[in-house]
């Protein structure tokens, strides 16, 4: 047995983490709810498996963990962990990139179908209401995927297979490929929004992306366009979005992430007939916990062997650039 101590910061107490026992062959594993309220022997800790709860307090505890060299996040988003202090202390941060890609892509297709086939309208009909409006075909329409990393690529692949024409926005423009007809840089966002029938936001939250979907962005979109947000809530100005939806600047929105979660009951988004609210679960397929644990165990094996880790996050950018963006 290795001498390293791995601390699993788990958000739900003794929740089952399928496959975690495989880590026992590589290290000594302990569970900690909150580094502040339940101080572990941090001086012995070499690696941390960080779940939902206690992540920010983990950063506060760094001075008490001189041996800590690696933090594995259970999520793809790491805005609460990507701190310059990690780089200063030589601590590598990895995320769960890739685990949620397929679920998110399928959810995007489902959201778009909910609008195009009028499922949303049908679900909200009153008893006896029997209007038979035609559906709108997705095939041949144009989707813009904003954030062409691993999630965006998987989303684009599925939308392309469904017959949509797919374009992308990435941090850096690159040549078209077998998924994207065009991949432009952020400076072309409004130009691309103007020709898209569907806009899929897959952006992580960074200083550059915060509030990127603002009044000007919505004004650039077609009045018939639908916005899908599976990225991060703070990349969208929700007040501007609410106004755009209410005033018919855009046709509708399917939202899985929000500036404040859970979405407050007083938010007007709950009551808009052209809005689909999803409780930040679009990527949470059945069995996702086991998939995240498997990624962690593989990275732990690499960590013990001194091999390169998967999904290393650039803490300055706030995401793992390996899957492109």
Of 88, 181, 261, 316, the active-site residue reads 261
Q: Distance between CA atoms of 206 and 255, rounded to whole angstroms?
A: 19
311 conformational bin, left if phi > 0, alpha if psi -120 to 50, beta if neither: left
Cα first-last separation, the chain: 39
67 belongs to the catalytic site? no
The reply to whether 261 belongs to the active site is yes
Q: What DSSP string describes 265-307?
A: TT-GGGG-TTEEE--S-TT--TTHHHHHHHHHHHHHHHHHHTP
Kindly name the residue from 56, 160, 210, 280 that is annotated as catalytic.
280
Give the Cα-Cα-Cα angle 102, 104, 109 (nearest 5 degrees): 95
DSSP E strand boundaries for the chain: 5-9, 28-32, 45-50, 70-73, 92-94, 142-146, 165-169, 183-184, 198-201, 226-229, 252-255, 275-277
**Can you tell me the distance from the alpha carbon of 43 to that of 20, in angstroms, rounded to the nearest whole number?**
23
Active-site choice (31, 171, 198, 232): 232
The single-letter DSSP state of residue 62 is G
Active-site residue list: 232, 261, 280
């Amino acid at each position: 047995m290795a001498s390293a101590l791995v601390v699993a910061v788990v958000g739900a107490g003794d929740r089952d983490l399928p496959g975690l026992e495989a880590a026992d062959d590589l290290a000594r594993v302990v569970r900690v709810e909150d580094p502040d309220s339940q101080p572990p022997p941090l001086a012995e800790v070499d690696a941390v498996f960080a779940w939902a709860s206690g992540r920010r307090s983990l950063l506060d505890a760094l001075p008490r963990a001189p041996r800590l060299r690696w933090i594995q996040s259970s999520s793809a988003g790491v805005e609460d962990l990507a701190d310059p202090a990690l780089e200063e202390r030589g601590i590598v941060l990895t995320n769960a990139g890739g685990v949620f890609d397929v679920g998110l892509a399928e959810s995007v297709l489902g959201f778009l179908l909910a609008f195009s086939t009028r499922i949303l309208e049908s679900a909200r009909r009153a008893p006896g209401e029997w209007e038979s409006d035609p559906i709108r075909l997705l095939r041949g329409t144009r989707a813009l995927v904003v954030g062409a990393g691993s999630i965006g690529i998987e989303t684009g692949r599925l939308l392309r297979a469904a017959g949509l024409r797919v374009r992308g926005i990435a941090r850096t423009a690159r040549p078209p490929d077998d998924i994207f007809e065009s991949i432009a840089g952020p400076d072309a966002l409004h130009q691309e929004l103007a020709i898209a029938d569907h806009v899929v936001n897959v952006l992580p939250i960074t200083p550059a992306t915060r509030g990127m979907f603002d009044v000007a962005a919505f004004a650039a979109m077609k009045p018939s366009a639908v916005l899908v947000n599976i990225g991060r809530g703070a990349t969208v100005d929700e007040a501007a979005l609410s106004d755009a939806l209410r005033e018919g600047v855009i046709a509708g929105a399917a939202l899985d992430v929000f500036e404040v979660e859970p979405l407050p009951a007083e938010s007007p988004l709950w009551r808009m007939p052209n809005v689909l609210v999803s409780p930040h679960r679009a990527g949470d397929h059945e069995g996702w916990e086991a998939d995240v644990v498997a990624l962690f165990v593989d990275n732990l094996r690499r960590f013990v062997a001194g091999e390169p880790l998967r999904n290393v996050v650039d803490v300055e950018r706030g995401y793992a650039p390996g899957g492109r963006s």
